[in-house]
Structure 1
Amino acid sequence: MPSDREILLALFDVALNAAVPEGKFEGRLPEPPKGRTIVIGAGKASARMARAFEKEWGRPCEGLIVTRYGHGCETQYVEIVEASHPVPDQAGFDAARRILELARSAGPDDLVVCLMSGGASALLTQPAEGLTLADKQALNQQLLKSGAPIGIMNKVRKSMSAIKGGRLAAAIAPARAVTYLISDVPGDDPGAIGSGPTIPEASDPDEVLRLMRAYGIEVTPQLEQVIRTNVVSGDPLPGQEVHMIATPLMALQAAEAKAKEFGLATLILGDAIEGEAREAATVFAGIARSAATHGLPAGAPCVLLSGGETTVTVRGKGRGGRNVEFLLALAVALKGEKGISAIACDTDGVDGTEDNAGAWFDEAVLTDAKAKGISADDHLANNDGYSFFSALDRLVVTGPTLTNVNDFRAILIR
């Protein structure tokens, strides 16, 4: 039997391979238009999506994609621009303006192909009238520190965007539009992926303002006026279609199949786990202990799989994203329980703003930490999961994967 580390990394690897866009356009391509084929989009996976689309489309096209710094790739026709994520910068602002102009330039005989994936909310930044890029940057900083779930973050972002919440679709009309999505959101709601630039959605200013205040986000009189003015009806537009080409569940199912090859029982706990990373870890520790002790909800040897996107309310000044936060909290809660190991990684290859996808641990992690004079509790209190796992050589570093179906977690119980 391979080691815990080998099994956990193998499960993550097959999950990543299930989330790539290559081969996912087959049988989903539209009829070629009489006019232009314009490819636009945004997100951490969008450049790779553009490359895969070009290969399967097999004819000339034009367009512009904006992706995160370090997540670009070579394409034949479509221009790739890199910009900042999660806090927007001028490069993203300029790219979003150009994408909006391309959308508006499309005529009745043209086809607009929209490639969207996680990260598009921050990358495709075009503030509503009355706001500046600096306003949007400040808002994003507040959102990231607020502890708000990603769905609420995106609802707030939509309310002050010239593109999100179906506003890009309105700009494309009357041209035909086909949207391809790689989901990174709980429930695979098309309107939540990248804040739904091509998915019409009725706006509710009162709800947005209530949510902002509930999470301690400053609402100035000017901002309230913008939110109340920037409304859309949410009525569907003719000639537009949407295809989901990769989802978190697809990744988990691939890992499940691989686990069975190792002779492990499997249980997918859900592809849409949300909430505070530390609280989720406490719950998962209890489930893992039950499996180890009572054989419920699955009997050892087994693996518990899950996806989704937790959040972190930042209290300390350490390094690390939500996956190492979850994993460190899980290790602390398990207290070195024998026979239990785990991995938690972001499928885009970047956990938060660090250079790792996530980390892994085995039953010896707390013992090894103590031998080096490293306190797991202190690191957790300081939101410093990165430094903890780095010191113990348990980081998972993949580099940008050019895809994104959110977080992948596996708990192995021998």
Structure 2
Amino acid sequence: MSERDDFFKALLTQVFEAGVLAAQPQRAIESAWHEHLLPWLEQLAPERERIWVFGAGKAAASMAKALEDVAGSTEALQGFVVTRRGHAVKTNVIEVVQAAHPVPDEDGQRAARRLYKAISEVPSSDAVIALVSGGGSSLLSVPVKDIPFVDLQQLNRALLSCGAPIDEMNIVRKHVTQTLGGQLAQVCRAPVFQLLISDVPGDDPSSIASGPFSPDESTFHDAVEVLRRWEVQVPHSISRYLDKGVRGGVPDTPKRSSLVFRKVRTQLLASNLKSLEAATELLESKGYRVLNLGDTLEGEARDVARVHAAIVRQAATGQGGWPTGPLAILSGGECTVTLNDTQLRQARGGRNSEFLLALAFYLRDLKAEVEIAAMAADTDGIDGIGGHAGALMLPGDKLLCKAAKLAPQLHLDQHTSYDYFKQLDRLLMTGPTMTNVNDLRVILIGEP
């Protein structure tokens, strides 16, 4: 690898690490404990015998460990959290249960049923701290009694491959489960303080892990519309139940006006926006001007890449009024990749590596005097299928691609971005980061 490639690889890796560090819960939970949680406990649960800790998500275990570190010596903590397999950390008193993600499995269902029961039995004089992060939707999936668990699994697979944005997928999930869309708050008699790590654009609490402790303003009708709009085929048990809900045959999820939310307090600990801010600070310290496109970008991965490529073309050639280089373009949010049944079986990669492969393809004929490098990765360390966090695009890749006789468009069409970047040795391999605030995309134009 050339010296310039080494420079860009090191810098892009540093940017990713800075974004992930900004999303780690330790410091944020310590601050929240002293500034917010302790006063809240004294006000709403002064006679508490213990604090019950429950949670779900990819960051749930690291959040539990951080809470133990700050509160374990002064409070009696009890409870458990559910996290994705491979995302567990060692805790002292708060149990960590692991289950499958993104399609729920039997371990997850058992843990979610146990959590539902435990929360409903917490005495009203005690308090609950809920640790909620991205990934919790599948880890807390207990279907309503009219829907078999296998049908809920099939629904999740269909939603994941249809191309719908995460907030719309969550609307459906909330209306076919007993645990999401504010329903855990509904069965809890004790006051609840929920700490959130957001993986959704806009950081709406009702969308983070499908808002188990947050009011849900969506309806059964909205859920049916999502399935219709994205042409999602679902099992008959699910369509029957949703139709029953539309007719008013079963209660909808609790809304903002419900009295159950008077006892719920919410605080956001980390988000995609905060990670983008950390990345911006690092890049500016290295001499880059930063164009931050924000944390709410959504859409098909290759379509988002096409827009980014258009900006890069203009900025790299001094057109369009974009800032002059060296320039860094940042964006967050969450792309989607739509797959049919055949593509779903053969796909290898994820939304970030697909975005980056599309970006490389759209810039394949760019002739500019400045070098272009890029990275796209999921802050949880796992980008789809392959065990990679994402991938890198370096200036020397065009020559490597030609020498290896790789066909970028073929890999795009087959959704095998993992194979493409593996052959170039450009996969970003980090392992689970124990947090999750969505995607981080960085494009560098020029070198300081």
Q: Same fold (TM over 0.5)?
A: yes
Deviation for aligned residue 1:140? 0.5
How far apart, CA to CA, are the structure 2 residues paired with 1:277 and 1:224?
29
Partner of 2:25: 21
Give aligned-pair identity as a percent.
40
Query: Does 2:226 match 1:211?
Result: yes
The correspondence for 1:48, drawn from 57, 62, 78, is: 62
Deviations along 1:336-389, one digit per CA (max 9) or x if unpaired, are: 535111000000000013210000011222321111111111111100100000
How far apart, CA to CA, are the structure 1 residues paired with 2:326 and 2:218?
48
RMSD: 1.5
Deviation for aligned residue 1:78? 0.7
How far apart, CA to CA, are the structure 2 residues paired with 1:111 and 1:198?
14
- Indicate the SS of the match to 1:67: strand
Query: Does 2:226 match 1:201?
Result: no
The correspondence for 1:308, drawn from 314, 327, 333, is: 333
- Indicate the SS of the match to 2:328: strand
In 2, are the aligned partners of 1:336 and 1:364 still within 8 Å (CA)? no
Query: Does 2:240 match 1:232?
Result: no
Partner of 1:286: 310
Deviations along 1:46-100, one digit per CA (max 9) or x if unpaired, are: 1000000111113321111000000001111111000000000000000000110
In 2, are the aligned partners of 1:36 and 1:109 still within 8 Å (CA)? no
Partner of 1:78: 94
How far apart, CA to CA, are the structure 2 residues paired with 1:366 and 1:231?
54
Q: TM-score if structure 2 supplies the norm length?
A: 0.89
In 2, are the aligned partners of 1:318 and 1:379 still within 8 Å (CA)? no
Instruction: State which drifts further: 55-64 or 301-310.
Output: 55-64
- What are the equivalent positions in structure 2 for 1:341-352 lying under 5 Å apart? 341-352=373-384
Gaps of 5+ in 2: none
**For the structure 1 residues 69 and 243, does the alpha-carbon distance in structure 2 shift closer, same or farther, using more than 3 Å as the test?**
same
Letter in 2 for 1:312: V
**For the structure 1 residues 201 and 318, does the alpha-carbon distance in structure 2 shift closer, same or farther, using more than 3 Å as the test?**
closer
Partner of 1:318: 347
Deviations along 1:198-244, one digit per CA (max 9) or x if unpaired, are: 00214411221121022122245532342312512412522210000
How far apart, CA to CA, are the structure 2 residues paired with 1:293 and 1:161?
52
Letter in 2 for 1:81: V
How far apart, CA to CA, are the structure 2 residues paired with 1:366 and 1:160?
48
Deviations along 1:90-127, one digit per CA (max 9) or x if unpaired, are: 00000000110111011211101100000000111111
Partner of 1:100: 116
**For the structure 1 residues 363 and 230, does the alpha-carbon distance in structure 2 shift closer, same or farther, using more than 3 Å as the test?**
farther
In 2, are the aligned partners of 1:336 and 1:366 still within 8 Å (CA)? no
Q: TM-score if structure 1 supplies the norm length?
A: 0.97
- What are the equivalent positions in structure 2 for 1:172-211 lying under 5 Å apart? 172=188, 174-211=189-226
How far apart, CA to CA, are the structure 1 residues paired with 2:284 and 2:218?
45
How far apart, CA to CA, are the structure 2 residues paired with 1:233 and 1:386?
42
Partner of 1:387: 419
**For the structure 1 residues 39 and 3, does the alpha-carbon distance in structure 2 shift closer, same or farther, using more than 3 Å as the test?**
same
Partner of 1:334: 363
Letter in 2 for 1:144: L
**For the structure 1 residues 220 and 373, does the alpha-carbon distance in structure 2 shift closer, same or farther, using more than 3 Å as the test?**
closer
Gaps of 5+ in 1: none
- Indicate the SS of the match to 2:307: helix
In 1, are the aligned partners of 2:182 and 2:216 still within 8 Å (CA)? yes
What number of residue pairs does the alignment pair up?
A: 413
Partner of 1:254: 278
Partner of 1:357: 389
How far apart, CA to CA, are the structure 2 residues paired with 1:217 and 1:334?
34
How far apart, CA to CA, are the structure 2 residues paired with 1:379 and 1:167?
43
